[in-house]
Amino acid sequence: MANTTWMANHTGWSDFILMGLFRRSKHPALLCVVIFVVFLMALSGNAVLILLIHCDAHLHTPMYFFISQLSLMDMVYISVTVPKMLLDQVMGVNQISAPECGMQMFLYVTLVGSEFFLLAAMAYDCYVAICHPLRYPVLMTHRVCLFLASGCWLLGSADGFMLTPITMTFPFCGSREIHHFFCEVPAVTVLSCSDTSLYETLMYLCCVLMLLIPVTIISSSYLLILLTIHRMNSAEGRKKAFATCSSHLTVVILFYGAAIYTYMLPSSYHTPEKDMMVSVFYTILTPVLNPLIYSLRNKDVMGALKKMLTVRIVL
């Protein structure tokens, strides 16, 4: 029986079918072009941001190191789902094999989990910079930054290694139509013909834990930051402190809001259409918004960009 289940889940005839975004659109070709343009904007925006941080010595600080890690995650994040979706639309196919589905699921869950913890690390960096400015160079050394970033990637991959194998080993003896544009855990789980209630409960607890730890760190950091700002006598100091953290707080609200809807709200609140729209927001739109948030509202980044453009024009 176990061998039969394994074969059913892994042989070629058992491919999943991604229903995708385009079937619900009245103008699929136009939607395809729009998503392709957004994809290119996300890749180019994040790549430019990483390049600026790498090349400009003024941006070699812990805050920009974490921003470069966020941009790297966003580039991989959007590349996991969008190229497959666009290629399927162009080629006129919508199938994905079980191994490909599992790999896509693992990478997606890993990147989501890693970004949860990275945003918490960035909040801690803001806290140290504002609340302990004199000790900042000692507390946030390059080694500490590397340790925090590595920990974020490791914790995210642990989530991927935990959820993906369990989800993909469920028996799928009924419909294999995934009402989504990629292999997301909840969308695949509902296809199983076995009782997944215990797994869904464990997944819910896991996601709560994955969200609770970073949210606690972020909330505590910003509470202490607000108390410190309140005690500042200098209006210029308050303005600078708000500018330092406002971009990060904007990204936190965008990313965590969508994640809480997807992974923490009961299934009664979900429909395939709502889930897909929320996924479009934080899978496709968030990676293109992040570099804009961190560049347009940041004088250092804009200054580095102007300097790079000036050098290229001179050359």
Q: Domain for residue 9, yes or no? A: no
Residues spanned by the domain of 189: 19-301
pLDDT in tens, 216-238: 999 899 889 888 887 877 777 67
- Strands 16-18, 95-96: pairing is antiparallel
Instruction: Please give the pLDDT value at position 141.
Output: 93
Q: Domain for residue 138, yes or no? A: yes
- Out of 76-80, 142-146, 149-153, 240-244, least confident range: 240-244
Q: Domain for residue 150, yes or no? A: yes
Instruction: Please give the pLDDT value at position 2.
Output: 43
Give the global pTM.
0.86
pLDDT in tens, 170-181: 888 877 888 888
Q: Domain for residue 142, yes or no? A: yes
Q: Domain for residue 314, yes or no? A: no
Q: Of 11 and 88, which is predicted with more confidence?
A: 88
Mean pLDDT across the stretch 148-157? 94
pLDDT in tens, 2-53: 444 444 444 444 789 888 887 777 788 888 899 999 999 999 999 999 998 9
pLDDT band at 311 (very low <50, low <70, confident <90, very high): low
Q: Of 244 and 224, which is predicted with more confidence?
A: 224
pLDDT in tens, 264-303: 666 666 677 777 777 788 788 888 988 888 776 677 788 8
Tell me the pLDDT of the chain averaged across its residues: 83
Q: Domain for residue 49, yes or no? A: yes
Euclidean distance between CA atoms 71 and 220, whole angstroms: 25
pLDDT band at 106 (very low <50, low <70, confident <90, very high): very high
Give the total number of structural domains in the chain: 1
What's the CATH code of the domain at 163?
1.20.1070.10
Q: Domain for residue 200, yes or no? A: yes
At 42, the amino acid letter reads A
